[in-house]
Structure 1
Amino acid sequence: MADKSSTQDKTTTAADAPFNAMTQLQEAGLGSMMGMGTAWVEAISDMSAEVASFVAERIKEDVKTQHEVLHCNNAADLQHIQAQFIQKAMDQYRAETGKLVEMGTKAFGTKQD
């Protein structure tokens, strides 16, 4: 009679995927990720919320600009609308990048010179 322990089918399910991924990271030398701590996880969550808020704000600007373009009367107005849109986008992306760098610096405990 065959040994049941050696003939049991070892199947994995989709629910096992996160566990398997964590195990692979630990085996790759990243060690236990349980020590990350809630502060770090909260910081990452805050950064994600910041990015989502920024994207929502940029979408509002896109819609506003499209509305202005649809109601402009001449090429000069169109150029002005486009120039304002580009300038505001650059300013907002620059500011957002600074926020995210600052948040990341705090989250990872690194110092900037």
Structure 2
Amino acid sequence: MDRKTETSKKTPDAFDPLAAFRPLTPVSWMGTTWFENLASLGNEITSFVAERIKEDVQTQHALLHCKSISEAQRVQAQFMQKAFDQYQVETGKLIEMSGEMAVKARPNQSSKN
């Protein structure tokens, strides 16, 4: 009985952090504009989250200093209304930025219309 072992098969190197990225095809169609816009979008989201955390802390501080239930309810209601308004404005900003990103990423597509 001849047993032939296959030595040509190589096991993937589990410790190679770049191994997963080697089979990816180039994304040159995206260009630097796409990544710059993505960074702007990320910055906008980060700024918004930081602002909301600041509002959360201020509200907690105000709640700790409330002297009555009605005062605490007023603080909570103001917090909720402000959060709702800010999220609504931010959603609009992100939608607008995303739309602009799509147009800038493929300028040749917009000229066909």
* TM class by smaller structure: 0.7 to 0.9
Identity, in percent, stands at 44
The residue that corresponds to 2:90 in the other structure is 96
Segments of structure 2 that go 5 or more residues without pairing to the other structure are 1-6, 105-109
Query: Quick check: 1:64 aligned with 2:58?
Result: yes
Q: For residues 1-20 of structure 1, what are the structure 2 equivalents within 5 Å?
A: 7=8, 9-12=10-13, 13-20=16-23
Q: Aligned to 1:33, what secondary structure does the other structure show?
A: coil
Larger RCO: 1 or 2 (CA < 8 Å, sep 6+): 2
1:51 aligns with 2:48: no
How far apart, in 2, do the equivalents of 1:102 and 1:19 lie? 34
Paired residues, number: 97
For residues 9 and 85 of structure 2, what CA distance do their matches in structure 1 show?
Answer: 61
Where structure 1 has 5 or more consecutive residues not aligned to the other structure, the ranges are 1-5, 24-31
- Tell me the distance in 1 between the aligned counterparts of 2:29 and 2:11: 30
Question: Is the helix fraction higher in 1 or 2?
Answer: 1
Q: TM-score with structure 2 length normalisation?
A: 0.77
Measured in 1, the distance between the counterparts of 2:79 and 2:35 equals: 35
SS in 1 for 2:28: helix
Determine which structure has more spread, i.e. the larger CA radius of gyration: 2
What residue identity is the alignment partner of 2:10?
A: D
TM-score where L is the length of structure 1: 0.77
- Give 4+ residue runs of structure 1 displaced > 6 Å after superposition: none
RMSD, aligned α-carbons: 1.9
